[in-house]
Amino acid sequence: MQLTDLTIHALHDKLIKRELSSMDLTEAFLARIEASNPQINAFITVCPEQARKAAAEADKLLAKECGERKFGLLTGIPLALKDIFVTEGVRTTCASKMLDNFIPPYDGTAVRKLKESGAVILGKLNMDEFAMGSSNENSAFGPVRNPWNLDCVPGGSSGGSAAAVAALQTVAALGTDTGGSIRQPASHCGVVGLKPTYGRVSRYGVIAYASSLDQVGPVTRDVEDAAILLGAVAGYDNADSTSVNASVPDYRKNLKKGVKGLRIGLPKEYFIDGLDAEVKQSIEAAIQTYRELGAEIVDVSLPHTPYAVACYYLIATAEASSNLARYDGVRYGKRVDDGKGLIDMYMQSRAAGFGDEVKRRIMLGTYALSSGYYDAYYLKAQKVRTLIRQDFLEAFTGVDVLLTPVAPTAAFKLSEKAEDPLQMYLSDIFTIPVNLAGTCAMSLPCGHSGAGLPIGLQLVGKPFGEETILQAAYAFEQATDWHKKAPSI
């Protein structure tokens, strides 16, 4: 077992026993990044100097106060951030040419909390431009490759986060999930990903894509680490008016509670024809494991599921077109100015700064919001969204969690879907409804395809039911060892 293989909780034990220093650990990860990043391309920016400085500080604290106080679990632990989190003094690109030299003057709330808990930030992770995509091919910094098979995509948009955790380049990472961007890449890379309930984690300092759907969450090697990292970033923040003022439980406390008597619902709309046979098999095996662990399996229905993808692509693009209006070449970001006037400068800057998928979405969203179409598209989509949310709330009157596949297939080949946006959009068919409903869900490894690619299982919880899905995930993890498998890169 190497240092870079370990989890947050295992490393924490070693750090407090002084078997290891944060500096050793940080150096081990920096070396690992240097060796494997040329192949994987998970990092856009590596911050060795800042990381060493934070590691030295953590070591000082550990040396001075060891034995006297209980250390935060993240003290001295190396982590990495999707490049959508603004970081003081560290370039934040959102994988776009638009922001390729943007150096933010402040840390977002989640980042600040991690730093305050003593974490060491290794760098910024690749992603689909402005978090739009499901394969990480929409990055201005080149695609990320799946550590399990370099010809395959890692999923997206937090592809760099999932690939870096799987390739042992960082202990864990933060990602964001608007329609599946934490869960789908976690599934494709064989790691754990959790999308918290909307409002659970502050979005302050997270570059906005679709503000009513965006949520921050952890990508980790195991369920316990997801509980730790979620606990570190969750909570009310008066800088984000949509963050919810509800107390944050100790997510680790009841992890081992087990699933005896837990009612798990299987939504029939998620077990459809397009579902790959190997994915189906893995999910069925997982259901059997839960049965054996004493859970009660119940059939449920989420009848509005077929409308979710269409509804999402109206709401997400509408919000994106509005959020991305700020990149006009004036205050920050790329500016192309031929001296032909203000309007020309706007147009040239946006034409040069945004990639094709981002432009496609801005156009779709602008159209959906334009007068005459608003009622037919945007307003209708909002109504459908309410129906989708009601489906979930209704299902949760009879069950504690829902169990579904994360994605219809395992990771696909690079460029396989790049020319077909609709096929790409359908990758998120099982994750999107959760964002529309605003509730929480996680992805955890539950199998491998014949080609040796990871397959993930999705557990969906009630609003603010993160504790319950973590418990259910933990029980599954203890009963299986899919999470222990690592790619041979």
List the beta bridge partners of residue 401: 264, 461
Question: Six-digit token pair at 304?
Answer: 């509005």
Going by their DSSP bridges, the two strands 172-177 and 296-300 should be labelled as unpaired
The reply on whether position 180 binds ligand GLN by CB under 6 A is: yes
Q: Cβ 290 to ligand GLN, closest distance in Å?
A: 27
Dihedral angle at the C-alpha atoms of 66, 117, 59, 221, nearest 10 degrees? 100
Nearer to ligand GLN, 169 or 181 (CB): 181
The reply on whether position 317 binds ligand GLN by CB under 6 A is: no
The reply on whether position 177 binds ligand GLN by CB under 6 A is: yes
Q: Which of 76, 133, 143, 405 binds ligand GLN (CB under 6 A)?
A: 133
Stretch that binds ligand GLN, among 87-95, 126-134, 346-354, 444-452 (CB under 6 A): 126-134
The reply on whether position 178 binds ligand GLN by CB under 6 A is: yes
Residues near 324 by Cβ (< 8 Å), separated by ≥ 6?
A: 130, 354, 358, 362
- Start-to-end CA distance of the chain, whole Å, equals 15
How far is residue 33's CA from residue 170's CA, in Å, rounded to a whole number? 8
The reply on whether position 132 binds ligand GLN by CB under 6 A is: yes
Are 448 and 189 in contact by the 8 Å Cβ rule? The answer is: no
Q: Cβ 443 to ligand GLN, closest distance in Å?
A: 12
Q: Cβ 462 to ligand GLN, closest distance in Å?
A: 21
The reply on whether position 20 binds ligand GLN by CB under 6 A is: no
How far is residue 26's CA from residue 4's CA, in Å, rounded to a whole number? 9
Q: Cβ 183 to ligand GLN, closest distance in Å?
A: 9
Q: Classify the phi-psi angles of 225: left when phi > 0, otherwise alpha if psi is within -120 to 50, otherwise beta.
A: alpha
Site map for ligand GLN, 336-355, x if CB under 6 A?
--------------------
The reply on whether position 324 binds ligand GLN by CB under 6 A is: no
**Helix H or strand E segment including 43:** strand 43-46
How crowded is residue 24: how many other Cβ atoms within 10 Å of its Cβ? Answer: 16
Nearer to ligand GLN, 114 or 314 (CB): 314
Does residue 157 have an active-site annotation?
yes
**Helix H or strand E segment including 51:** helix 48-65
How far is residue 3's CA from residue 84's CA, in Å, rounded to a whole number? 28
The reply on whether position 83 binds ligand GLN by CB under 6 A is: no
Nearer to ligand GLN, 26 or 138 (CB): 138
Residues 146-175 contacting ligand GLN, CB under 6 A: 157
The residue count for binding ligand GLN (CB under 6 A) is: 13
The reply on whether position 311 binds ligand GLN by CB under 6 A is: no
The reply on whether position 134 binds ligand GLN by CB under 6 A is: yes
CB hemisphere CA count around 116 (13 angstroms):
9
Buried b (16+ CB within 10 A) or exposed e, 42-55: bbbbbbeebbbebb
Give me the amino acid identity at 228: I
Give me the amino acid identity at 19: E
Nearer to ligand GLN, 172 or 320 (CB): 320
Exposed, middle or buried, 238 (CB in 10 Å: 0-12/13-18/19+)? exposed
Residues 211-270 contacting ligand GLN, CB under 6 A: none
Nearer to ligand GLN, 11 or 309 (CB): 309
Q: Cβ 422 to ligand GLN, closest distance in Å?
A: 12
**Selected catalytic residue, list 21, 22, 96, 157:** 157
Going by their DSSP bridges, the two strands 401-405 and 263-267 should be labelled as parallel
Q: Cβ 417 to ligand GLN, closest distance in Å?
A: 11
Q: Which of 224, 428, 466, 467 binds ligand GLN (CB under 6 A)?
A: 428
Nearest CA among 47, 56, 104 for reference residue 76: 56
Backbone angles phi, psi at 374, to 5 degrees: -50, -50
Question: Six-digit token pair at 382?
Answer: 């909002």
**Selected catalytic residue, list 82, 195, 334, 462:** 82
Q: Which of 76, 147, 159, 179 binds ligand GLN (CB under 6 A)?
A: 179
The reply on whether position 181 binds ligand GLN by CB under 6 A is: yes
Q: Cβ 101 to ligand GLN, closest distance in Å?
A: 23
Does residue 181 have an active-site annotation?
yes
Chain Cα centroid distance, residue 125: 11
Nearer to ligand GLN, 155 or 265 (CB): 155
Stretch that binds ligand GLN, among 71-79, 177-185, 196-204, 402-410 (CB under 6 A): 177-185
How far is residue 102's CA from residue 335's CA, in Å, rounded to a whole number? 12
Q: Which of 11, 42, 201, 316 binds ligand GLN (CB under 6 A)?
A: 316
Which residue number places its CB atom closest to ligand GLN? 181
Does residue 301 have an active-site annotation?
no
CA gyration radius, the chain: 21
Active-site annotation, residues = 82, 157, 181
What is the contact surface with ligand GLN in residues (CB under 6 A)?
Answer: 131-134, 157, 177-181, 209, 316, 428
